[in-house]
Structure 1
Amino acid sequence: MITEKPLILVVDDEPDIRELIKDILEDENYRVVTAEDGQQARQQFSQITPQLVLLDIWMPDVDGISLLKEFKEQRASVTILMMSGHGTIETAVEATRLGASDFIEKPLSMAKLLRAVEQALENQAKQSALQHEQAITPVGKSASINLLREQAERVAGHGMPILLIGEGGTGKHCFARYLHRLGNYANGRFIELSPESFPLDSLKLTSLAQSNCVFINDVGLLSDEAQSLLSHLLESGQMNSCQLICANEHSLERAILHGEFAEGLLYQLNSITLNLPALRDHVEDIPELVHFFVDLQTTQAGLPYRRFTVAAQNRLRNYPWPGNVLELKNIIQRLLLLEETDDIDVEQIDAALQENSTIAAQEDGKINFDLPLREAREQFERLYLLHKLQETDGNVGKAAKLAGMERTHLYRKMRSLGIDIKQS
């Protein structure tokens, strides 16, 4: 199979430079689209979904740093190279902080430009490969997990949409990545959409979907307009060239009864439905999950290794796990990070579970209305941000986006409210 060269968007207000870069990149067989200002760049970015953007800093209508920030908020995975003839160290530092992969000075050295493009795309491919490796096979030997693995192997290669149903924290996102790895579009990108980020432009959605895996989380919360668009694209066959995986916490029949979901769309999505079990329904897998998460945190996150005693593991098996596998993962991470003993025993488990229960009770919205306004507001902000972090599996960048905040502002706010960033 011949792989198409990456699509590159070149944004520069100087026609000579813009066309020169376009010609050079096309000589190297890259696909290139250009934009002369911020308005055109925004339009092109939303319509063609480039894999790489070459972005000038100084333009008449909007600066490149602002565009960099916008593009990264819309699609965090996009690779962006900044260009400037009047850049400063401060500008380069700010661009890097906001997610730019490199900073190229003008006048451009074409050899340096090509090398920067190649390096940026190589790094992008490595990151994609790493994410591919992180598509973890479901851990456990219980009957329910064995069945889930068997079902995944059978259905991943079919062209029909796959619907995942499971409580929060059961691992729907990880399982979708696993299906992507097994599916016909394993070499394509894994594109995650939420009700907030779902594009209402059919061209943009079909461009995103082409030869990729599209994962729509919380599909039951899509707006009426989004549901109509998705239903139309499925009915017309415009989503046939992708792997479509949708996920929801509850049965969509319930949403239909409440008039919140289109019955016709359910019939289009539920031809293959996989149910992810709650952790309380396969507690026999907890010892294996503990070993897995300890290995994961010590090798990838660099946390110190600690051994969980048999008694500790037994205590974990006898806990109801309202937050499912995600709650177990967070408990293990916290114990590895904060404890000082080599062995984790029942006492440490009980203390961690008690702390978790306290946080969960706070997240239920139990605000003390007897507090002064300032303290009550802080309590609400803490509950709100903890909820956003739980929604995004602890991803601060995504939580900031959902909360409509700058990432740096969110970090400061978390510190001021006593939210442990390392644990979140």
Structure 2
Amino acid sequence: MDSPLRVLLVEDDERARVMLAGVLTRNGYRVVDVGLGMRGIEELEQGTFDIVLSDIWMPDITGVEVMNAARSRPEPPEVILMTGNSTIATAVAAMRAGACNYLLKPCPNEEMLAAVSAAGRRRRENMRRAHALRTIASQIADVVGGTPVEEAAPPAASTPASHTLERFLRIGGLEIDRHRHVATFNGQLLHLTPIEFTLLITLAEADGRVVSWTELTSRSHQSRLNALESHELLRVHIRNLRRKIDPSYLVTVRGIGFRLVDPDERS
């Protein structure tokens, strides 16, 4: 008999979180619930989950960032995203960025449970397939007396040496340290999410050039989205960055993308 599936519930609305956790628990799931996206990422780093059920818009980071953290795990869980502010672009972007399902709140319990059940079936099938592949690889290794296939070292990628890039990028009061992956503004350390740092360094490397929405999301979310989908995903991250640095540094180019500039040098 299969053991109960572990669900990580990430929802900033306490009333909704308690209700969803109760419904899932009564239906046989083992639930860990948290109220902030960063707490969700911490739980992902500390434990193993089969399914992540996350709101998209939260006070600290977005559900997309939680999903990206989940996808980076060695055996990534299935991710279902939820939002009360739906557009077709948001739904499509969420699915194309890696979510296995997308729910519009308020969501009937039956619909939520059906989505979680489908994600659970997919998770178990993926785990069975991975186990079968590991078994085959181990049997092959026993026959040939070599190293198991999945443990073989991948060929080294031919990437430019890091020393060919300048360590620091400076634009006005903004300084980005490529080596330490940190940034400061007017000497104060910025507390950035991984996506915010990627967006900031991508814009800084453009040296004042307009960077399109699609180019930004290809770097920040490793996803190939169209312009509308990319714009939808970027809105909250750009808004958060503008709160953390002088908003005049981030210039919107209508219908295209964004520029990072030193406002003191703008003509």
Query: TM-score by structure 2 length?
Result: 0.53
Higher helix share: 1
C-alpha separation between the residues in 2 aligned to 1:405 and 1:109? Answer: 33
Which structure would you say has the larger Rg?
1
- 2:143 pairs, out of 144, 149, 158, with 149
| Aligned mate of 2:222, from 399, 402, 407 | 407
Residue equivalent to 1:62: 61
C-alpha displacement at 1:61, in angstroms? Answer: 0.9
Alignment match, 1:44: 43
Offset from partner CA, 1:171-224 (integer Å, 9 cap, x none): 521xxxxxxxxxxxxxxxxxxxxxxxxxxxxxxxxxxxxxxxxxxx4xxxxxxx
Q: Deviations over 1:7-42 (max 9, x none)?
A: 111111111100000111111121111110112212
Q: Structure 1 residues 16 and 135 mapped into 2: Cα distance closer, same or farther (>3 Å)? A: same
1:110-259 correspondence to structure 2 within 5 Å: 110-135=109-134, 137=136, 148-149=142-143, 166=147, 172-173=149-150, 217=151
Q: Look up the equivalent residue of 1:407 and give its one-letter code.
A: Q
Cα distance change on mapping 1:46 and 1:139 into 2, 3 Å: closer
Larger RCO of the pair (alpha carbons < 8 Å, separation 6+): 2
Asked whether the equivalents of residues 138 and 149 of structure 1 are also in contact (C-alpha less than 8 Å), the reply is no
| Change over 3 Å in CA distance of 1:14–1:75 after alignment to 2 | farther
Residue of structure 2 equivalent to 1:184: none
Q: Which runs of 5+ in 2 are unaligned?
A: 165-218, 225-267
Give CA-to-partner distance per residue, 1:147-181, whole Å, 9 cap, x none: 93398xxxxxxxxxxxxx64xxxx521xxxxxxxx
2:96–2:223 contact (8 Å) kept in structure 1: no
Equivalent-residue separation in structure 1 for 2:25 and 2:223 (angstroms): 38
Q: Post-superposition shift, 1:136?
A: 6.7
2 CA distance for matches of 1:32 and 1:15?
Answer: 15
What's the CA shift for 1:80? Answer: 0.6
Aligned length: 166
CA distance in 1, matches of 2:115, 2:221: 28
Check if 1:73 corresponds to 2:68. no
After superposition, give the CA deviation of every residue in 1:329-388 in whole Å (9 maximum; x if it has no partner). xxxxxxxxxxxxxxxxxxxxxxxxxxxxxxx9x97x9xxxxxxx9xxxxxxxxxxxxxxx
Between Structure 1 and Structure 2, which shows a larger proportion of strand residues? 2
Measured in 2, the distance between the counterparts of 1:111 and 1:104 equals: 12
| 1:337 corresponding residue in structure 2 | none
Q: Given the superposition, is the C-alpha separation of residues 23 and 57 from structure 1 closer, same or farther in structure 2, using an over 3 Å criterion?
A: same
1:306-325 mapped onto 2 (5 Å cutoff): none
The structural deviation recorded for 1:98 is: 1.7
Query: d(CA) in 2 for partners of 1:103 and 1:52?
Result: 13
Distance 1:17 1:130, change over 3 A: same
CA distance in 2, matches of 1:54, 1:131: 23
The alpha-carbon deviation at position 127 of structure 1 amounts to 2.2
Verify the 8 A CA contact 1:37 1:59 in the aligned structure 2: yes
In 2, Cα distance between equivalents of 1:120 and 1:131: 16
